[in-house]
Amino acid sequence: MKKNKKILLIKAITSIAFFTVLLSFVQGRELLSIFSRINWFYFTLSFMMVPVMLVTSCLKWKVLLDAGGHNVSFSRLIAFYLVGYFFSNILPSTVGGDVVRSFYAGKEIKNQPYAAVTIFIERFSGILFLLVLVIVAPLCKPSLYGKSYFFIPALCSLFLLSAVIWIWRIKEPLVLGKHFMSYVFGRLKAAGISGRVQNVLLRKILAFVEHLVHTFFLRFEKFSRELGKALQFIHQDRALLCKLIALTMLFYFLTWLNVYLAFLAFGKKIDFLALIALVPTIMFVAHLPVTVLGNLGFFESVFVFYFLSIGVPGAETLAMGLLLRLKMLSLGGVGCVVYLSHQQAWGTIPVQQEEGL
């Protein structure tokens, strides 16, 4: 628990640091001026995207549950999703939104493992599609590939996609790595290095590295098992695969439209092809878990940085990013109300669920 609190504290400090740097590049008066001329038609239209995107995500989840013969009402899934937003974007907790959804859905269908697999497939299919978009979306503006902050994410995405294919095709992809690292640490201990070294810090570093390697292999094996279940599950039903692809494509189109309307709410019209090219890379970078409350501060900073590359002023992008944040917080706020009103009936998230799916 102390370790979790330290991580949360570090992330909170990082959030403040990102916002401090961000506001140093944007004059307060300029930002206030942008907010004073909100186009309320597009602002309302932008907020209407929130339930549409939520329904799309829930529909994808329901398709997966139905495929396994678990008929959960759509309203119930909406409630679970909203509570997940509360834990992810408002509550400074180590319990993630997907863990919450998995726990409550598992109680509903009386099958925790299957609930976890459906959420893994729902999330992972979206991540795979995002990786593809990070690679190909900049084709809308090919000159972007010449910039390192587009080329490197595209290269990383290609590597990750290749790794997924490798994991899928190889039964035990890290077996050689495990044997090698066991040999290395075994030799170190046999040589008495950890015992003879007088430097306490060096001994701690050695123990820490061994712990990191062990944790990595454990988590990778868990991921590999979940991926195997997911691929086997989808392979048995091609119609399900087509539905997942269609709903994932719809979600990303709505994501582009969501950003486009958010800019229009502040009177800024963005070239839609440029937006298509930028947003996947922004999503890929901005969702690295470095700050608290849904990557507060870092999320907005990444948007500002990337849209500056196509000449969009920082203040306008920051206003747009804050609107996106407001919409996420509104979902989390509704999720808080749902959680508090149903907590007694649904039960409390157990502590052991904190480690993830």
- The pTM is what? 0.82
| Residue 30: per-residue pLDDT | 80
What does the alpha-carbon distance between residue 231 and residue 149 come to, in Å, rounded to a whole number?
32
Q: What is the pLDDT along the chain (357 residues), one digit of tens a residue?
A: 555 666 666 766 776 777 676 666 676 678 888 988 899 999 999 999 999 999 999 999 999 999 888 999 999 999 999 999 988 877 655 457 888 999 999 999 998 888 888 898 899 899 999 999 999 999 999 999 999 999 999 999 999 999 888 877 776 666 777 777 777 777 766 655 555 545 566 667 777 788 888 888 787 777 677 667 667 777 777 888 899 999 999 999 999 999 999 999 999 999 999 999 999 999 999 888 776 666 778 888 899 999 999 999 999 999 999 999 899 989 999 999 999 898 877 877 764 444 444
3-state helix, strand, coil in the chain (%, to 5): 85, 0, 15
Tokens at 83, concatenated: 């509570």
What does the alpha-carbon distance between residue 292 and residue 49 come to, in Å, rounded to a whole number?
24
Handedness of CA 137, 142, 143, 148 (dihedral sign): positive
Q: What does the H/E/C string look like for 220-234?
A: HHHHHHHHHHHHHHH
| Residue 356: per-residue pLDDT | 41
Q: In this structure, how many other beta carbons lie within 10 angstroms of the beta carbon of residue 22?
A: 19
Closest CA to 105 of 93, 94, 91, 117: 117
What does the alpha-carbon distance between residue 141 and residue 197 come to, in Å, rounded to a whole number?
55
Q: Do residues 26 and 313 lie in contact, with contact meaning Cβ atoms separated by under 8 Å? A: no
| Residue 357: per-residue pLDDT | 43
What does the alpha-carbon distance between residue 202 and residue 206 come to, in Å, rounded to a whole number?
6
| Residue 114: per-residue pLDDT | 85
Tokens at 314, concatenated: 């920082």
